[in-house]
Amino acid sequence: MIKPLLKEASPGLALRRNTLSQRKKKLLLLLLACSVNVTGNAFSQTISYYVPDGDYQGKAVPSAANKLISINMGNVTLQEAFSRIKSQANVHFFYSDDELDVSRQVNARFTNVTLAEAVASLVGPRYKVEISEDNTVVITPQEADREVIRKKQEARVSGRVTDEKGQPLPGVSVMVKGSSRGVVADNQGTYSLPVAAGDVLIFRFIGFEVIEVPVNGREEINVQMVPNVTELSQVVITGIFERKAESFTGSAVTITQEELKRVGNANLFQTIRNIDPSIVIMDNLALGANPNALPEMQIRGTSTFPVDEALAGSGLKGNYLKSPNQPLFILNGFEATAEQVLDLDINRVESVTLLKDAASKAIYGSKAANGVVVIETKRLSGSNTIVTYNGSLDIDMPDLTSYNLANALEKLEAERIDGRYTPTVNDPEAQTGLQQLYNARKKLALEGLDTYWMAKPLQNGVGQRHGLAMELGGQELRILGNLSYRDVVGVMKGSSRNNIAGNLTTSYRLKGFSFHNSMSANSNKAEESPYGTFAEYAQMNPYWRAVNADGSIPYYAETGPNGERYTNPLYNSTLDSKITSSYFNFTNNFYLEWAISPAFRAVTRVGIDVKKNSADEFYPSAHTQFESLVGELDAQRRGSYQVNNGERSYLSGDFNLNYSKEVNKHFYFANFGFNISENKYSEVIHRVEGFPSNRMDNIMFGRDYALDSRPTGIDGISRDIGFLAVGSYTYDNRFLSDLTLRTSASSQFGSDKRWAKFWSFGLGWNLHNEGFMNGSAFDLLKVRGSLGSTGNQNFNTNASIATYAYYLEKLYQGFTGSYLENMANTSLQWESKFDYNIGFDAKVKNLSVRFDYYENYTENLITDMTIPNSTGFSSVKDNIGRVKNVGYDVNATYLLWAKGRDFFSVNFGLVTNHNEVVQLSNAMKSYNDAMDAQAAERGNNKPLHKYEDGMSMNAIWAVRSLGIDPATGNEIYLDRFGNTTYVWDAKDMVVVGDSNPKYRGNFGVGAEYLGFGINVTCRYLGSGQLYNQTLVDKVENVDMNYNVDKRVLTGRWLYPGQEALFKRLGNYSVDTGEGSVVVYPEKTRATSRFVQDRDELDIAAINLYYDFKPAMLKHVGMERLKLGVNMNEIAKVSTIQIERGTDYPFARTLSFSVLATF
């Protein structure tokens, strides 16, 4: 309907009452029958034919030109007046919506005027009124006004749409509000659209806010889109290109910044595990909440052999070697280390995308077998100057709920039951001395001496975090600067991790080119507690004094009746010990994008990543660890110093050319790429001993290198090159397909196996876009499937080549000799993983569900293979196995209620994983035999890893146990033939459990009302097993010289006929071969008696916040202010009572945060 209209008619209007020609009437009828809406690049025009109410077919309507009309309606719309007229005169109205606005108000009051005069007075003098023989009233503009209207119809608006970085944003929908007219911005972000002066343009794009802009007669309108974090999950960011989630066949999960903040702010790893259970962060039962410990993680199960224990205990501190099962990290399009992710300011993170299956991760080919974690930091958001501050006060509180140690009186009773105060022979004098010792200790305990040793090295660590970001510039040049400081204070006194980081991002656009550079610097310093390990305090007897009456700290906690002395670990806190490490990391990433044409875009990226690290570990000569160094020569070795110095450089570059084109219902996407990189690292360790004074805390004061040692270390270099081809075809946004081809070469592999090919293929079907789904409850229903292969490079770079070492002790004719240290394997090839995945994404009203079933096979596992000693080596790296992982992922979110910003939602996640060795080389038999021999040692009390076909990589191997014989106190075993025996034999070991839970997941609730919000997240796992080492070390194999678990009081066998869970062990002796015998306490070797079912529930995070309304902040010049309180790791309920955090306790974190934007 149209717009110029006058309320009053001009009295001098000339009316044509002659009839229209027959030819013109036919033309009018043709136009009426062909009434259309034209959208896109042509102006929208609708030809309307006003048909009166009632059925006039077959009726002869007389000419009504001179029919008298009487109306008394007052101010009504022109359409309402036409409706009254047609009912009186039985006429039809014919006019153009673009020429006549029938929604305009008119004064409809007439008494006995002709039809022509009535209509003319309503529409005004700028319109002609013609009445045909068939009683059709035709209304058209006067010739002078028609030209004005034509020019207005031909008015166009053009412009350019950019993203928050000022770069072109293709694919943006530009619509005229209230109509179906619209266009899509091309690959340069430009658009052109016919409009009227009063139109309003609506700009829409997935992942961005909807923007409405009035035309107001303008011919050029440029718009910069603003990201919408609530819609980022609809876009899959791969780190090379972005894809719409609706048309992507891969299994990928995108987590937005708001989702991250709702479940914790400790670090990115801790936060991700609370959102998607498919990424598993292993609980480190030894290092607990140590802020300087890198987490172990994996996606979709264990795929390869664990890290070499020799390297794990080598003293390396540069973190240059990757864990074999660790996923690939991509930070802003470039490869990153786990350490960089750990120290990344979580407030800078915009989104995290987990790529799980072949269709999503195959673009990274040789490095993607373990999954890919793509991290994007905040981008430039607009043309306004924005300042954002993030700050928090973080309190870490020790969690000792897993400890069940005896108090002073309980420990004395345990010693009495154990016979510690009864002599082994009938010696009255000895009996008297032991009884006096017992009485003296008990007296002190009864008087209140009950030292809580575990509290001595602990504190409530109070840390802080601050971040300041400033964005400024215009449409063409934008600058974003970030400065952050974080001080993590651990729960062990003196332990901390301090991080200062800065980032400067610039973006500039010149015609079809976009330049982007991101420069970052990060300085980190870590300190370990000078108090020693937590285990040293947990073992101390509670009837020993930690501090003298005068406040001094004694070197010895107690001297026994036979002269045995027990050092006090608290004494070490008085010394000038130094355990520090630091690194400086500089990165610079440059991006150049060229919009060649609307369909073609070229992107090249170059990155440099340089790191230098150092570490100092100094223990003064008075430290208790040197207590055993007695005698003149050994005393000179007291005091030690270890220095680590390392560096790494990583250079990478790639070039990608992509093509995207939509032709009718067909959408084509292609990407062709090339990448090259070099990674070089080295670290050197010097160990020196012999420091005569505690104040000599510099390595230059050392007497000599540590006994039987010399400088050691590690170095490596790897070079990679690869080619990438990606193709995608979508038909009518219903049928989807993706194809990826990747070929890569690496210097890490044998000269005969440098190159490898990786690929993936995916199909999808958007069922919700099918006609037969119209009217269904599904807003989204996509089924998808994929298969393909990827590779793994997470192992030492020198594994395939021959390496040499030197004879340093002697010279031959003045020359240094060398020998082959590592045997070459020219056929060593890539570990590869073949993935199958099938799943669906569904949304029914407020319920969203994502389901995936996966099955993957890791082939060519790399490990040490035993070879004949005649080769001069005992082992060589080789490909020897195949491992299968199978399981499913389920994630669901239900929005129970929403109104504006207010909402209430629940979420649930469940993942399963079953791991199995499918095929293993016979070469592993020698490895398993070595494990059997180690397990059989009488001084060993831990289960060891073995690998056999059909068994899990996480299998727990032990001899089956029927319990403790009440008559003898000996353990009854079940041998491999099913017979009972008292003799433990390594050949009888079988799989008695699996440390990998069959299922794990999370669930939670989130709500916000009037700015107040709450989120509660819980984790759970079940149907797994764990070997309870606490029962072994603190109950059955306990050293009664130190404190014990309370279960010692009731659980150990003492006399015939007693039913007990734990046996009592004796000693065994070893002939040194030099005429002497050494006696050792016997240990409990691996037995199924200590394998327990593991089911756990964790209250992982509680987050409370208040987000101020914008109207409240305007008068203080702020855009946003948000206050929050967050608590992590609140409580754990487990079916296993086991000590957690033996070397460093676990902790709960309470954080108070503020976010302010100006």
Instruction: Supply the pLDDT for residue 812.
Output: 64
Those residues whose C-beta lies under 8 Å from the C-beta of residue 604, and which sit 6 or more positions away, are 591, 592, 653, 654, 655, 656
Reduce the DSSP state of residue 349 to 3 states and report it. strand
8 A C-beta contact, residue 482 and residue 471: no
Residue 171, Cβ density class (10 Å: 0-12 exposed, 13-18 middle, ≥19 buried): middle
Average pLDDT (642-646) is: 94
* CATH for 22-151 (3.40.50.10210, 2.120.10.30, 3.55.50.30, 1.10.540.10): 3.55.50.30
The widest CA-to-CA distance across the chain, in whole angstroms, is 144
Quote the tokens at residue 329.
């990290």
Whether residue 32 is predicted with pLDDT greater than 60 in this model: the reply is no
Those residues whose C-beta lies under 8 Å from the C-beta of residue 407, and which sit 6 or more positions away, are 450, 542
Report the range out of 68-77, 345-354, 460-469 with the highest average pLDDT: 460-469
Whether residue 276 is predicted with pLDDT greater than 60 in this model: the reply is yes
Ordered by start, the domain boundaries in the chain are 22-151, 156-226, 231-384, 385-407+450-529+531-571, 408-441
Whether residue 34 is predicted with pLDDT greater than 50 in this model: the reply is no
User: What does each C-alpha distance from 197 to 55, 142, 215 come to in angstroms?
Assistant: 39, 21, 6
What is the phi/psi pair of residue 127, to 5°?
A: -125, 145
Q: Do domains 22-151 and 231-384 have the same CATH topology?
A: no
> Which homologous superfamily is 156-226 in?
Carboxypeptidase-like, regulatory domain (2.60.40.1120)
Banded pLDDT at 1075 (limits 50, 70, 90): low
Higher-confidence position of 1024 and 71: 1024
User: What does each C-alpha distance from 428 to 165, 424, 433, 537, 578 come to in angstroms?
Assistant: 89, 11, 9, 35, 50
pLDDT, tens digit (0-9, with 9 covering 90-100), for 811-836: 666 776 766 666 666 666 777 889 99
8 A C-beta contact, residue 1089 and residue 1115: no
Instruction: Supply the pLDDT for residue 875.
Output: 56
Whether residue 321 is predicted with pLDDT greater than 50 in this model: the reply is yes
pLDDT, tens digit (0-9, with 9 covering 90-100), for 706-743: 888 888 888 888 899 999 999 999 998 899 999 999 99
pLDDT, tens digit (0-9, with 9 covering 90-100), for 1087-1111: 999 999 999 999 999 999 999 888 7
- In the beta sheet, which residues pair with residue 305? none
Instruction: Supply the pLDDT for residue 40.
Output: 33
Banded pLDDT at 873 (limits 50, 70, 90): low
Residues 127, 130, 131, 137: what is their CA dihedral angle, to the nearest 10 degrees? Answer: -40
Whether residue 331 is predicted with pLDDT greater than 80 in this model: the reply is yes
Helix-strand-coil split of the chain, %, nearest 5: 15, 45, 35
Instruction: Supply the pLDDT for residue 810.
Output: 67
Residues 573, 575, 576, 582: what is their CA dihedral angle, to the nearest 10 degrees? Answer: -30
Those residues whose C-beta lies under 8 Å from the C-beta of residue 49, and which sit 6 or more positions away, are 32, 35, 92, 93, 94
Helix locations, 405-511, DSSP H = 408-418, 428-446
8 A C-beta contact, residue 252 and residue 279: no
pLDDT, tens digit (0-9, with 9 covering 90-100), for 277-294: 998 988 888 999 999 998
Banded pLDDT at 180 (limits 50, 70, 90): low
Average pLDDT (73-101) is: 81
Banded pLDDT at 948 (limits 50, 70, 90): confident
d(CA 854, CA 885): 8
Specify the amino acid at residue 1073: G
Instruction: Supply the pLDDT for residue 965.
Output: 93
According to CATH, the topology of domain 231-384 is Ferric Hydroxamate Uptake Protein; Chain A, domain 1 (2.170.130)
d(CA 44, CA 313): 74
Sign of the alpha-carbon torsion through 1073, 1078, 1082, 1086: negative
